[in-house]
């Protein structure tokens, strides 16, 4: 989504770790590279759900929203890779995760 010089990008991984329906999904991480229509960022904020994606908040708060700043330099030439520096993990998007990157375009 775009609002002037601010871009909001949702990234969702429904992949879980382990074996399901005869397929081995390993650690459940998914490599993700975003190619955006903005070359540089002045600021990047990540909002994400935390907790075990197999749980709910029905009986207690297992899932919560966490916000963090991502280094603006992580966006290089319009490319942002989900990794440890940008709020993900070594392998990319964690299992069953929901991320919202808010990118304010730089000059």
Domains of the chain: 2-105 (2.60.40.1180)
Rounded distance, CA 45 to CA 3, Å? 15
Q: What is the pLDDT of residues 44-83, one digit of tens each?
A: 999 999 999 889 999 999 999 999 999 999 999 999 999 9
Longest dimension (CA), the chain: 49
Q: What is the pLDDT of residues 21-45, one digit of tens each?
A: 888 888 999 999 999 999 999 999 9
Quote the tokens at residue 75: 């966006």
Note if the pTM is more than 0.85.
Answer: yes
Beta bridge partners of 8: 102
Rounded distance, CA 86 to CA 52, Å? 20
């Amino acid at each position: 989504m775009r609002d002037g010089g601010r871009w909001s990008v949702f990234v969702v991984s429904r992949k879980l770790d382990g074996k399901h329906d005869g397929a081995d999904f390993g650690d459940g991480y998914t490599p993700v590279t975003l190619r955006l229509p903005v070359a540089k960022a002045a600021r990047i904020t990540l909002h994400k759900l935390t907790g075990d994606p197999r749980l709910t908040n029905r009986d207690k708060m297992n899932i919560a929203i966490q916000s963090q700043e991502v280094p603006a330099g992580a966006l290089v030439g319009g490319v942002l890779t989900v990794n440890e520096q940008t709020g993900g993990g070594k392998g990319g998007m964690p299992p069953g995760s929901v991320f919202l990157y808010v990118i304010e375009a730089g000059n």
